[in-house]
Structure formats: C-alpha cells, structure tokens
Chains A and B, each alone.
Chain A
C-alpha cells in the first residue's frame, strides 16, 4: 500500500512540477511564425532538436507526411536533410509519432505545441515511477530512499530541463528503466512472462526509432534478458542448459518493428538502411547554393559521399576530452550542475562488493552511456543545459545515491550532505527548467562573447525571461515575478526532499 501511495505521490508531484515548468506558448501557431520568433531563446522552439521533432509532428498531423513541406523545412532549419526533392528532419521519427495524439488533443484546445511537449513530461513522470519500483523491488530500498532516488532524478538534475520540452532523452530513459524492470519481472517466469518479453523487445525496437544510439544504450537490458532466459545446471547427468523460448519467440516484435523502420527508410530515403541523419543537409544545399540542374546533382552526390563518414564521429580519441566535458567542465559537467551525483559515484563503488546480475546491468547501462557520448564528436549536445546525453546515467546514478544512503554507516551526516547537495542541484536545475536550454558550449560562447553554463540561464532569469507556459500565461498576470515563482517552486521541492530525507524514514521500520 505504501508503494501505491508513493507512486501516486510521484505522479501527482511530478505532474505539478512539470506542469509548472512545461515550456510552451498559447495558440496553434503556423510554421511561418517559427522563424525569428518561436525559435528565439526561452521560446518553446529555441533549439533545432525540439523544433525539428515538433515540426515533424505538425507535418504528420497536417500533411500526413514524414517529408516536410518547404515552409516547414525552412522553419526546422538547420537540422533538415534533403532527398530527391523532399525534406526530412534529421531525427528518428519515434518522438514525433508519440507526440502526435497529444498534439491533436492540444490543438483542439488551442495549445497544440504544449500538448505535444506534454508527452515528454508524461514519460518523465513514468520514469519517476519506474525508478521507485526498481529501487524498491530490485535494490530493496526503503520507500523513502526509493522515493528519494526518483525525486533526485526528476528535480535535482538537469534532466528536469528535458522533461518539459520535446527531446528524446526521457523517452529513452523510460525504455531503459521500464525494460530493465520488465526483465526483472520476466525473470520470475510467472504467467505474464510472455508479456514482459514482448514489452522488452518492443522497448528495444521502438527505442531505436526514438534515437538510433538507443540500440547500444538499451543493449545491456537485452543481455540481461538473454542471461535470465538461459539457465544451466551441473548435476550427475551432466550440464543441463535450459533456455526459455519466450526470449526468441517474443523477439518477433523487435523484428517487426525493425522491419517497419526499414520499410520507412526504404519508402522515404530509398534504402532500408539509410537513416535520415545520413541525408545531405539542407544547410549544405543552401550554403553551397546547389540548384537542381545536372551540376547540382553531381554536387549532391559528392555531399552524400561526404556524409557517409558520420559513423566516424564516435572515436576513441575523443574519449578523454568528452569525458571531461560531460563530467567536470564548466559548460556541461554533471558534477557542476548536480553535485549530488558525486554520492551516486560513491554508492556505485560501495555496491561493488554486493555485485549481482542486476547491479552489473545497471553498471553497464551507465558505462555504455558515458562511454558512448564521451566518444561522440559533440559531447556538449550542441546548445544545451547540462550534460543532456547523460540523462539515462542520471537516472541510474540516482538509484546509487539512495543505495549509498541506505548502506552508509554515517546516516545522518550522509543525509545532511545529500540534502545540501540536493538543494544546490535543484536550484540549478530549476533555473534551467524555467529559462532556457540554449546554452552554448564554451568554445562557441567565447567567440560570441556570450555566457555559458549555469550563468547563461541565470542571465535570462535576471531578465525575467521564462520559457514556462503557465508562468507566462497565468502567473505573470497575477503579478508574480519570475524570482517569486522560482523560489516558490524551489521551496516546495526543498520541503519535499526534507520530508523524504528526514521525516519519512522515521515512519519506516527502524531502517535508519
């Protein structure tokens, strides 16, 4: 029962806080209103990832097409590819497809964009729920600590900034956490194990349609799935290997999804293995002034050849610098934006002595995420608030923070330390959530003379420029300033964390 209440609380609290910070503007705006308006800093389409995905949703809803009209392509510029006279956003279509029903619902209330963005908040709330469930059931954490893990991920990390706009990270995290939980349920070999099997394969298949690197990010869960599907035992007879056919049979769903995605690629881009990200850029076409005569075709061919080297964007030589950017740098460092995760690292090391299959898979989820994006050519994630590529890692590390507090011998000191870190991390995260994700990396900011890191968000905070839909359309008309709004939310967050850290444990069965 406690779990149900805790989950209901998470849903409610998540809905409130994400609702208060959800980005958007009122009205069903036309694509022509995007350029030099809604694509400006603190506006809902300030950066190309959310702009591209949202405009693809618009295209799907309004034109029933994955290909963007010229007008939409111009609005989605620069992350737009070109193929045989048609324009496509560079992103996998999964997020846009998920947002489609929410867009249509929102549209009927004159808030099409807010509706579309709210799908991500929904997934973010589900992530809170799954973190709680994993903490409780798999890591055997107390209700308070499982709640704490979920809340840290939700509201003491820069993941907050990506729970209120149309990015892929929360959906990716959802597929990782929920499929991990599903495998754990499947492991019991209960009546519903086929359902969990189908679900895991679905997450893997659809996850790839959300973001192509998910093929690697979710892969440890598939390994986990395989390991629990195959059991071996040595007895007097010999070695008995027992494989559950569900693993193989349910993989049909994955094959179908991949086939569907391949069909989509074939239909739209002419080859089942060609991805939208490999198309010639609309940007290149404009910059190199390519026109559609024979000379232009040759040039397009040349550009397409150049694009094929995109795989080399992941390289070991970028690892050290990427790791530093993602962990320690002033413009993106995880530990600068949310130092609470230092306790997560401690928890991770402390858990090594108790390592089991599930912990091993959690380690590998972090390992692959960090390894992959440290090796990525742009570890900054373009203009972004915090290390957005590490959002799945933030989720798993949150569990290890709770695990650390659960096993640390200096409980109250640990909790006090955690609380201080949490308040700082929440304050920073809320600052970003209420203002902007359009934070340039240092190497871009310096030549522009712009601020970067947390200071950039603070700059807009001082200017009273907020991206929050509710603040801009309701609270500001009630005479509430952005500072007041910020402190009100922060106080609420701090209070909840204080209760979870210091009050709730008192009610639990002498676990302190």
Chain B
C-alpha cells in the first residue's frame, strides 16, 4: 500500500503557464532591490557600513572634492581611480550621508541591482533560458559577501557593475555578428571600469585582445579587426590615458599611482621585507591564494558548482567563440593572480596564510570580483543538467546558506572589515576627540588613519591633511599657524616631523597642551590666547621667575654635615658662604634637610635664620631621624608616630616658619617607616600616609596662622608615575613632587608629561642635578653645566606644568654647584640664566605707525610667546642668553631678529611690520604718516 498524491493536469498546466509568463527579470530586479535595502539597513544598524578603513577614505576623498578646506577636483588625488568618488560626491555633500557611509551605500547598492539584472541577461545570452538566468542572479543576490560589500562605500561593487555591463555587451557583440552598438557599449562601460579600479584596465586589454582573436582565423578580416580594435580602444582606453595625464599634470608623474609612497606597491614592500608576501614571484601560491579567496567569497559549494559549470562550458564544442568568451571572463582572475605574483597586492586569508604571520585576514574582498562569473556558470550548469541535477543544485544552494547560518562559512569580506587588517581601527582617542573637540582646524596625517573624521564629529572643512596646500606644508613647519588641534600617531608624518626634534617639540609645547595620551596616539589642543599670554605673563615685572619657587638644596651640609659642621667654630661662616652663593644664583628659596628632632633643632635654626637674613624662603626637607634610621637611630617610626610628632613640631615651633615657606614632613617617605619594598597593600598604606601628612600639616599651619605650602611631598619618580592615584593627587592639591635623576634630559619631559596626563597634576621637581655617577658617569665642570642646561630647558619648556624646581645640591656631592673652596662652578651660570630671566619689551607698529593688536611675538624655537595688547605693546620674559625673536601678525610680513637677553634686564625692542598687501587705504595712511613726519620735522626746525 503506497501513499499516492495526484496533482491534476490542469493545475500543473496552470502552474507551468504561470511560470512561463513570469517576467523573471523584473522579479530579479525587485528581489535585488529588496535585498540591497535590507542589507544596507542591517549594515547601518550594526554600524558596519564604514567598517573598512578604505571605506572612510573613499568617503573622505569624495567629501573633500565638494566640502573641505581646499575643495576641488585636485582632492581626487592620484592613487585611487576617480569615478567612485565622483559618483559619491553629490551624496557626501550631505553630512549625514557622509558620516553614516550611506552616500557610498547608495552608489554601491545601485551597482548591485544593475549587476544582478545584467548577470541575468548575460546568463540569458549563454543559455536563452530565463530560469538559468534566475538561478545565476539568485546566486549573486544571496551571496552575503556581495550583499555586505554593496552596503559599503567600497569600490568593488561599482567595478562589478561596469565589468558585468562591459562583458554583457561584448558577448552580445560576439553573438550578434559584430553588432557595433554593442561593441561601443562594451567600450563605454570598459571606460567606466578603467576609471573605477585598476582591475578594469585588464578587462579592456583582454577585450581588445579578444577582438583580435575573434578575427584572427580569417585573414580577410584582419583589416576589419584593426578597425574594431581602434574603435573599441579609442573609447575604452581613453580612461587610462586620462588618468595618466591627470597624474602627470597634478602630481608630476604619470605613474604616480604605482610609484608613489602611498601606492599599493609601496605598501607591499613592508610585507616583502618581513617575508610576509607569500605570492610574490610564486605563481602557484598566487593562483592558490586567489582561488581560495574567490571560493570563500562565493561560498564553497556554490564555487564548486561553478567549476562544474565552467567545465561543461569548456567542453561544449557547439557554443561558438566560447574560448574567446572564457578569455574575457578570466580577466578578473588573471588580474588578481598577476598582481599577487608581482607583489603589487597582497591577500591574507586564514585558509592559507600561516598563523605565524602578523595578520591572517586582509584584502579578501578581491575574491568577490569573480562573483558574476561564478553566478553565470552556476546558472549555466543549472541549464545543462537534468531535473535531478537541478534539484541537487537547488539543494546545495540551500546547504550553502545553511553553512553561512551555522557559521561554517564566514562572511569573510565582512570579517576582514571588522576584525581583519582591512578594518578601520577605532582607538579610544576617537571617542575622546568626539567628546572634546570644540571647533578649530585639526592637523592629522590622514594616510595613517589615526582617528576617523566621520566618527569623531570633525567637519571635513576643519581638517588639514596632505592634500590641503599650503595649509599642510606650512603646518608641518609651524604647527601653530593654522591648527587648533594636532592628532598624531607614532611614526606618522606629523609625529616624525615633530617628535624627537627639540626645536619642533619646543614649538609644539609652547602653543599646545597635550590633551590626550595613549601609547600610540597623542592629541594636542592649542592653548587659549589668554592662557598662552599668561604663560609668560602679559606684563612681567623684574625680577621675574619662571617657576613659583626656584630652590637649591643644602642636604649635604644641612643634614649630612651636621656632625662635623655643628661642632665647628666656623659654622656660621660656612653656612653664610653657602647661602650667599645660593642667593647669587637668583634662587628664591633654600632647601634645608636638617632633621626635626630636638637634638638637631639649634642647627636647623642657624640655617633658617641665615636664610631669612638673605631674604630666602625655606623649604623644610628634613624628617624625623628615626623614619629612615639616620644618625644611628633605629628605623622604627610608625606613620602614626610620624604624623603626631609632625603636628606637634609645627605647633611648638611656629617662629621657625614664615609665609611662603614650604614644609615637607617626610621627603621620599617611601624609603622609611614601614614602607621600603612595597606590594599593592603597602602602596595603599603609603598613599594614605601621604594624604594624612598633608592633612596634618595643613591643619597645624592653619592653627599657627602661617601660609606654608605643605603639598610638595617629594617621592621617587617611578612611584609618582605608577603608584599614585588621581584621588590621592587631588587630595594633595594637584601637586606631585618628584626627586628624579635621569640619564637623558628628555626623560624629565617624559615624566612631567606622563604625570600631568595621568593625574592632571602640576609637577614639582623636588630634586634634580647632575652628574649622578651611576647614571651619567663622570662629567667635567663644563659637561655638568651643559647637561644641567638641557635639564633646565626641559623644565622651562614645561613651565606651565612645573610648579617649582630644587637643584640638588649646593655643596658636596657629585652634583655640587660650589667647589670645596666655595668658588662657583660653571653650572651656576647656567642656573642663573634660568633663575634670573630677562625681559624683551616693546611695541609692534605697522609701517604707517599704527599699533598692531594681537601680533604674536615668539622665539624661533617657539617655546616662548606673547601677544601685543591694544596699544601694540608686548613684554616677553626669556632665559638669559641669545635668542631669535619672530613677530607675526595677520596681514603683515613677519619680522625676525636675533637678540641677547641679559639677566634681570629689560631689552627694549620695537618692531615695524610691513603689510602683505598695500591697498589704497594703507597708502593713504602712509601718506598721512609721512606728512606728519614732515610737519614734526618742520616744528623741530
């Protein structure tokens, strides 16, 4: 007994009649539109439209053509071909379409729909069977890689459209016995391909050669072949000619697209150097890489079906010109294999790329270029096989979809865009910039793709990149000239231009503050004009100081010399000699390190009173002897004891202190008490101790009514950088004091910047000096002076962040300022240059005698600057020594003058600036001025 179902003949005929009457091209078109829109919506919701780094670059190129600092066709550049950007240009004008990437989706989506329709028509040319065409189109429409790429601003889908159109008309030309309109259409879309991607150049070459092959067998037709090739090439190759001319005229090299440092070929060089260009000069690897990439992009089962279809087509001797058609269809394959072989491109795909490579996923989307050919041959296979074979094809089609659904087959072009090397990086800096950008021009090496313009909310017209001449070139020399923001990534063009170049760095830090730091990315924000001017005080009075306190430490005598010195009959004389020398450097304070215990008090008082007599503030940098076990004391003091004794000490010796002093209860507290070698728990206790010290001292000084700084709690620089917390630093009043000796003066800057960036804190250099033999080796007196000069320069450069400095040490020790006989070493003069700055002062007028407001007066190194007031007056404090002043004002030619700044002296310096353009009004002013001069001359007579 069997189960029998009968479908009546009429019903079957109705169904088949309906099937016959169905306009499948229209069905395909509508289905493609629906799928295209659905995929775009999906990509939009998932935020992957601009997942590729290249996707944003394409959008940005198009945007720059219509809306940038220097809009125009020149923004098209000379590497990527222009047509995709020109097609996107009308859409990217609208910021929403630009930022979402939908401007590109519109173009690619349209290309997808057109491609689908022409895959249908192309398959019809091969089979004259609309169901074969339908299957071919369905294969293409249902390819998730194609669906994703058509949702992006990438250029692949556009090329697929133009290539499909060109091939369609070319095959039509062959089939319809030399129908010239088709040949012209093939050439037209070939021309469009040529201006879309370089793959298109291969296609038109192949098509031109195919025309030759077509006429080759019949000698009589050779002249005809010549004519057809000329007809085809004159249009199709015109795109190549245009591009070569463009590169020649705009960039000076017709082959700029392949010779430039930005070209794909140049980029492959780095892979080659690392030995990670597996297909370079290896034809088998090149073929395998492209074969597997194409397979993965089209689905492994679909690809297998296409190979069977291809094989059947090859064997089908009845089809005329099939080898010529195959030759044309092979263009994408040959192009990609050739470029891989030549090292002009690279593909990394996990299927083949060794896991030892830095990246195993890159450029896999190239495999999609054969998707129309794959679809065509699946359609062809469907047409050729029996009903059972058709059922197998349909079944395998669904199995392939299942393989995607269960994750067996990845949507590899999407993966490349999201996790592969092709993906746009999304550094934290991008989010930071989005939250903090508040207008102004931004200088960034766009090629390095440091942060995304579209994601960080920066208007394109506010970005300065390599294509904005003259803004880019000038900004690399004078970063402050146009930019309000500078974004740089390690080793990008901006970084290489500035970082590591003391002159440029000085300039940078004079005008900008570091607003964001990460291991790879730095963001600088220009300081406000008021703030900039405030840096060097709009009206500096002499004696002027760059730092709130500039101290010199006496530890070697005020503490270590206690035993010897306190018992000496000449104690007061020796202290006087040392303090006189300190006073002569321009220091305003002396650091005294005598312990606070009763036993040392008389000695401490001697030092303090001698300092007072010389008008020096005192930085109390002693401690309780038992904290670190000085002078034979047991290192037994607990933090609680320390705090209690300190509070009592302040209260009981209120006459010891004066307003403006500094008091540190326990310098380098980490070396004593319970601390020493610390784990995280100990660091917690240590931070609590710092806060408590500060609290106890603040309270005690408030009680005795003295204004003494108690938050200069100096510590080892490494601890300051790595083990403090923002909470602790805030509790200490936003000051971090470091006792820091370094091998290279630049390290000092690194610490200052790092501490400032980590805690938003000002920094006190609690101890600095040279040479420390372990770090710096031996130095003679002049080397010491030179090294300390560089150190002071770094601290001067960061004077906005550095609150105070303390040179360690005046007498005794390797870093001493004074020789044993109290004569001064050359380093003292170096200190004086910074501790006793001079001031350049004057007026900036134009040649008509009018004051120039807001003129900028700066040193050539850019580290010091100020602006003129409403009267054109300026005053600029500078370290003593030679300098070069530059005066700039908008609309005027700049002036430059070498000067010599003398310690604590004013240099009167007026400037007259000539205007850049002398217009009628200005001539009138000049005339009036000359008249006035003549009148005053007459008066004089």
Contacts and interface: CB of A to CB of B under 8 A. Distances in A.
Interface of A: 234, 236-245, 311-312, 314-321, 357, 360, 371, 375
A240 B292 contact: no
B77 to A, nearest CB: 35
Contact of B3 (A242, A311, A317, A319): A242
Contacts of B9: 236-239
B452 interface: no
Given A318-B351, A320-B351, A239 B12 contact: yes
Nearest to A374: B300
B410 A317 contact: yes
A316 B351 contact: yes
Contacts of A371: 300
A436 B350 CA distance: 33
B296 interface: yes
A312 B350 CA distance: 15
Contacts of B351: 316-321
Interface residues of B, number: 28
Nearest to B361: A317
A238 B11 contact: yes
A317 B7 contact: no
Given A238-B8, A315-B407, 8 more contacts: A239-B6, A239-B12, A242-B3, A315-B408, A316-B300, A316-B409, A320-B292, A357-B388
A318 B296 CA distance: 11
A312 B6 CA distance: 44
Given A237-B8, A238-B6, A241-B7, A317 B1 contact: no
A245 B352 contact: no
Contacts, number: 68
A241 B12 CA distance: 13
B352 A321 contact: yes
- B interface, by DSSP: helix, strand, loop or mixed? mixed
A120 to B, nearest CB: 31
A314 B406 CA distance: 10
B321 to A, nearest CB: 25
B613 interface: no
Interface string B289-320: 00010001000100000000000000000000
A260 to B, nearest CB: 26
B407 A312 contact: yes
B7 to A, nearest CB: 4
Nearest to B395: A223
B421 to A, nearest CB: 16
B402 to A, nearest CB: 12
B564 interface: no
15 contacts: A236-B9, A238-B9, A239-B6, A241-B6, A315-B407, A315-B408, A315-B410, A316-B351, A317-B351, A319-B351, A320-B292, A320-B351, A321-B352, A360-B388, A360-B392
Interface string B2-20: 1111111111100000000
Contacts of A245: 1-3
B805 to A, nearest CB: 53
Contact of A314 (B3, B288, B392, B408): B408
B408 A375 contact: yes
B403 interface: yes
Contacts of A317: 296, 349-351, 410
Contacts of B409: 316
Contacts of B12: 234, 238-239
The 5 closest A-B pairs by CB, nearest first: A238-B9, A317-B350, A243-B3, A239-B7, A320-B351
Contacts of B6: 237-241
B293 to A, nearest CB: 10
A57 to B, nearest CB: 34
B352 A320 contact: yes
Nearest to B291: A320
B1 to A, nearest CB: 7
Contacts of B11: 238
B407 A243 contact: no
A312 B349 CA distance: 18
Contacts of A314: 408
A436 to B, nearest CB: 29
Nearest to A321: B351
Given A319-B300, A357-B388, A241 B407 contact: no
Interface in B395-416: 403, 406-410
Contacts of A311: 406
Contacts of B288: 320
Given A237-B9, A321-B351, A357-B388, A316 B4 contact: no
Contacts of A239: 6-7, 9, 12
Contacts of A375: 408
B930 to A, nearest CB: 83
B348 to A, nearest CB: 12
Contact of A244 (B2, B7, B349): B2
Nearest to A355: B389
Contacts of B350: 317
Contacts of A357: 388
Given A238-B6, A245-B3, A316 B352 contact: no
A27 B266 CA distance: 71
Interface string B577-591: 000000000000000
A199 to B, nearest CB: 20
A315 B349 CA distance: 13
Contacts of B296: 316-317
Tell which of A240, A315, A316 has the most Cβ of chain B within 10 Å: A316
